[in-house]
Amino acid sequence: MRKRSCGVLLHITSLPSPYGVGDLGAGAYRFADFLAKAKQGFWQILPLNPTDPALGSSPYYSPSAFANNTMLINPDLIVQNGLLEKNDIESIPSLLNERVDYRNATPYKKKLFYKTYERFKENRSNNYGYEKFCLENSYWLEDYALFVVLKEHFHGQVWSEWPREIRDRKPESLQILKEQHQDRIGLEKFLQHVFYQQWTSFKKYCNNKGIQIIGDMPIYVCYDSADVWANPDLFKLNENKQPSFVAGVPPDYFSKTGQLWGNPVYQWKRLKETGYNWWIQRIKHNLNLFDMIRVDHFRGFVAYWEVASGEETAINGRWVEAPAEDFFTTLRKRFSHLPIIAEDLGIITDNVREIMRHFEFPGMKVLQFAFSGNISTNPYAPHNHVKDCIIYTGTHDNNTTKGWFEKDATKEERENLFHYLGREVSVQNINWEFIKMAMLSVANLTIIPMQDILGLGEEARMNRPATTEGNWVWRLLPDQLTPALTQILREMTEIYGRS
């Protein structure tokens, strides 16, 4: 962040792979090679946490804030490690290439995972790495593996509906279940180890090519998660271990009823009493995975909107202050390097900006927001940018730039854009015009979604907020990474001093 650079936003699931879901195999390494040839210094991804098909496979709604998505494990790399034979992975079912195919990929990979684990158990002579991983990650791994198995055992019930002694984590009752499901628990721990092995090798490859990985960390966790089940005192829950209050945002220009997310809110008083230990563990865990962390809904660390459980909208909520200064001061003492990017989109108050300034956390600017209202004072307009920020053409929650221009931009926004550029532009060129503006910006870091580099329309959008169908399924096709595209991106990167 101290020099001009740029990078690309693309989630791992969007990579090419013959296994239905983008993974950490050859497609990931080829994309890293593309970034290096195009002189890109950063690769931003979405959260790596496990996803749930019942929640639309969103990486922002996960049963764990620490575990990783084992669907991103690549079978070819398991073959290379000797735990599968080549013929074990040859009978690949008919899987989609142009879209993420969770429905068919999941049972296929699970079958391979069971076989891999059985081979691993047959030869425990070289399991030092596994034992070391389990020991170093026991503070979250034990609870997560047990939680996954208990969810299966209780047929998917929310954990607060489990038998009281299991809901309340009575040691003797948990021990019985651990013994009954020892092998299944071992499988979950083993798969987390396999993911970590593949991820560590892949990140090292990227770093050696001069590419830093920007991870994504949602501020809140899901209620039906190992985190809340194992740490109920850290959240505002009632006597039945159900949320007393849930998170959201109040009514604003974009929504008359606000947004009701449903995540349990933190019991910050209790967190402070523990020295913020849970958060310190979470930050440490993420810094072990990534070079930088984008924190989603950063303003929630300063003040958060809580709504009583049972409300149907976010209207009847209230702002509650959080101990932001004490919290980040504690983190600063614990971590000599705290590379956090604050997601500060939307209505941000002065006290949030002050925390960001005091702790030197860069914020975000999105060009799609730059052409509404009075452009001269619009903070997203390029002439109002500052060095210490990250400029995006759009994010995973936005339409693609071409889709925005065709479908979302108002007549006023298009006219303001044309006036700003000094000429009209066509839909065929709008993506490169936005990329050029982002590159020209004084902001030290520019991040461009891969869909905008390819000039794709609304069909390539990653997520539509407040919807649950058709999200998180866009895929990059292997033949889209052409030498011509690499050259265009490299030349633009060099011209604007970002290589």
Residues with catalytic roles: 296, 343, 397
Alpha carbon distance 380, 206 (integer Å):
31
Alpha carbon distance 173, 150 (integer Å):
12
Alpha carbon distance 101, 98 (integer Å):
9
Alpha carbon distance 449, 456 (integer Å):
10
Alpha carbon distance 368, 31 (integer Å):
26
For residue 422, the tally of other CB atoms under 10 A from its CB is 6
For residue 388, the tally of other CB atoms under 10 A from its CB is 17
Contact (Cβ atoms closer than 8 angstroms) between residue 214 and residue 46: no
Q: What secondary structure letter does DSSP report for 407?
A: I
Nearest to 214 by CA among 342, 332, 124: 342
| Phi, psi dihedrals of residue 364, rounded to the nearest 5° | -120, 145
Dig out the tokens for 442 from the structure: 């004084």
Dig out the tokens for 91 from the structure: 């009978």
| Phi, psi dihedrals of residue 363, rounded to the nearest 5° | -105, -165
Alpha carbon distance 354, 360 (integer Å):
10
How many Å separate Cα 212 from the centre of its chain?
A: 15
Contact (Cβ atoms closer than 8 angstroms) between residue 61 and residue 52: yes
Residue written as token pair 């730059």: 370
- DSSP string across 140-158: HHHHHHHHHHHHHHTTT--
Alpha carbon distance 450, 7 (integer Å):
10
Contact (Cβ atoms closer than 8 angstroms) between residue 232 and residue 241: yes
Alpha carbon distance 391, 121 (integer Å):
48
Nearest to 7 by CA among 365, 482, 391: 391
**Full strand arrangement of the beta sheet holding 363-366:** 340-342, 292-296, 212-218, 42-44, 5-9, 445-449, 389-392, 363-366
User: Letter for the amino acid at 159?
Assistant: W
Alpha carbon distance 209, 34 (integer Å):
11
| Phi, psi dihedrals of residue 169, rounded to the nearest 5° | 60, 50
